[in-house]
Amino acid sequence: MPRWALGSQAGGPATGPAPRRSHEQATRQAMPVYALPDEPAFPHPSLAEPDGLLGIGGDLSIDRLLLAYAMGIFPWYSAGDPVLWFSPDPRFVLPTDALHVGRSLRKRVRRGDYRITLDQAFDQVIRACRSAPRPGQDGTWITDDMVTAYTDLFEAGFAHSVEAWQGETLVGGLYGVSLGRSFSGESMFARAPDASKVAFVWLVRQLARWELPLVDCQMETPHLARFGGRPMPRADYLAALRDLIVPPLHGRRWSFDPDFHPLDA
């Protein structure tokens, strides 16, 4: 999850670092960087550079994004640059049955400080992730094209949002992409204490109940490590992904099971 950082304070950081290098920097590297063709296609992820950069160019069409996530690839770039595509090694993942919820967070979840919903405000969530402040950083990797592309994925049933509410006010949330029994996290934000963390707990416990075994965190953050995330060799992740994504894939909107509570899971 290059983009996930579980901010615990209102107004605190909600997304991870901006892309680590520009198009100019990428093309100066000694290893080959693959220019993508017009049709949806990617080189094998094993051909990525040491930092995970695999290719440059292409578009953010639904077909290309679905193929990318099915191959363990994701886009990450700055506004004004061509699209950069990454597949890091190792991959950072969170087994859904190994989620660790600390004592103070468990108390907050049990108190019901926030009302948690699924797929009720995707547009608000992705735009809040985009605008969330990040200390020492300007701009965001969630470009206009990214907002449009992932909203299209949401409308097709392949992107999902989790919302944390106080009354009718959205105070935290996250979004990601799901194909088959896989889920890849993209970004999250918090405008109230632990709001994104509570939403994350609800999501992971529901995914475990639905027998989705892994949350793809993409890259490591300390917050996700405390939740139980761990590195996985890319080859092992891709092998697991092949078992989780079984065509034909049909998108759908999500909602929590009527009898579900994350601390009962």
- Give the β-pairing of 214-218 and 84-86: unpaired
SS3 265: coil
Domains of the chain: 23-86 (3.30.70.3550), 91-244 (3.40.630.70)
Hey, what are 190's tokens?
A: 């918090």
Residues 69-81 have pLDDT tens digits of 999 999 999 888 9
pLDDT digits (tens, 9 = 90+) for 217-247: 998 889 899 999 999 999 999 999 999 998 8
DSSP, collapsed to helix, strand or coil, labels residue 61 as: coil
On the question of pLDDT at 264 being above 70, the answer is yes
Question: Are 182 and 69 a contacting pair, CB within 8 Å?
Answer: yes
pLDDT value of position 9: 35
Q: Tens of pLDDT along 152-197?
A: 999 999 999 999 999 999 999 999 999 999 999 999 999 999 999 9
Q: What is the DSSP string of 81-112?
A: SPPEEE--SSEEEEEGGG----HHHHHHHHHT
- Higher local confidence (pLDDT), 240 or 30: 240
Instruction: Give the tokens for residue 114.
Output: 């926030």
Position 1 pLDDT exceeds 70: no
Q: What is the pLDDT of residue 185?
A: 97
